[in-house]
Chains A and B, each alone.
Chain A
């Protein structure tokens, strides 16, 4: 197990806020997990406990088999974190910071790997620039390079694509998928649900400091994403009032020649048969399974209610 968390609790001393409640988590080697949650749900607190910025109130945390209470320094060697709010050392250039970062992790002469990372992240041309001279997206990529410079075994990214333009975001996805393919264990927190859906094979949802879902993506989607969206286009205009469909198949939305339904996956054949018995001028049918975003919203709403 690459990351094992047992009964983790955090209550901030300053204001007594309960940030984490009995969190349990097990991440296997090579997994790419997403941690989703609203602002203030506890994602960053959890990451900050792992990286040593926040002291936990109780519970056990093992990183790469090392207990953070007993072998804290060993856990740091194998952990790489891209923090949400990234700061920058304005005294030094990109290359200087990465060389120093390697040194802090006990690595000398790391130039070749530093240049490899800078090339991968399209930052090589900026290696002599001060970090304050980089654009917002470059700074985010620089943070990724900084967190990878010591070749961590578990890599945590706290909203890495916030403020990054679409093209660069997609380049970053490719880069992260390449990293994952190389066997790196990764945890991603993000507000872009489609990002988690595209990249991760395991989804965890945290709400008010509690883990409310933790499943492989496909199982979670099967469990909670039971409905499909069906859009049917006809050659001629649609008038729902002339139809006599069972109430469970009431069209959600009818406009011009198109009608949309949201039905349980199991009832899809009955719906299509029912419509086929009424109309035969189909032009197009599209069936879309629920997105992770829908599942996520269901989970959050269910918990809040």
Chain B
């Protein structure tokens, strides 16, 4: 079975996405890293004297996988969304229609570009926390995989947003009004199961919650709620994210005139 229609085209598009963010690495890599280190520095300063523990781990150990996941989510979302919206501003978006690369290849290339950036930020966040939290990872391979899956889901959401939205203001609106609250309610900073009422119930429809928990499980070896349910939820979000991305792209949303 032929996997690629245009293998060189697919990899060129994927490397273009990686090349673009690495060309502006101060904004795309260094800035989110500093932001995450500041979070950790502030929390380690404030909470070092207080005893807030999770299954025998201190709060900073609890926080590291949350911050790594949050960094991954934001970076993965921003890569395809920024890339597509900036192409709309530069008036090069229609070039995408002229390439002999299949819709599946184009969609995958954009989403994998975001996945690379998201995973990179997640891993660098973990490395940056080492001076603050000196503890090993329960399963390094699963930690990496979990960040990658998280990046894939949010890169898909970023891809859909980049196609559907026509300005950076709207993209920032989605980040501040949707992604940021979801990450706060997804267990980045605290145990969501300890919330009550609707805020607690919302965790079952929040894509960030199972992904944070999977990363936390990979980091600490313990988890909140049921890890198998989280695994299944993550799988659903991955499939739904990618399928929706492909459908939206095929329809020509934001790139073709109907």
Contacts and interface: CB of A to CB of B under 8 A. Distances in A.
A12 B100 contact: no
A103 interface: yes
Interface residues of A, number: 31
B204 interface: no
Contacts of B11: 103
Nearest to A49: B257
B92 A76 contact: no
A83 B7 CA distance: 26
Contacts of B99: 76, 104-105
A293 B178 CA distance: 58
Nearest to A86: B91
Interface in A37-94: 48, 51-55, 73-74, 76-77, 79, 81, 83, 85-92
A106 interface: yes
B102 interface: yes
A14 interface: yes
Interface stretch (B12-20, B72-80, B192-200): B12-20
A88 to B, nearest CB: 6
A107 interface: yes
Given A53-B256, A91-B23, A73 B94 contact: no
A223 interface: no
Contact of A106 (B9, B19, B23, B92): B9
Contacts of A88: 90-92
A134 B35 CA distance: 37
Contacts of B23: 91-92
B200 to A, nearest CB: 44
Nearest to A51: B98
A59 to B, nearest CB: 16
Given A91-B20, A104-B9, A105-B9, A14 B258 contact: yes
Contacts of A12: 257-258
Contact of A89 (B90, B255, B257, B258): B90
Interface of B: 5-9, 11-13, 16, 19-20, 23-24, 87, 90-95, 97-102, 252, 255-258
7 A-B pairs closest in CB distance: A87-B91, A103-B12, A52-B97, A87-B92, A76-B100, A104-B99, A73-B100
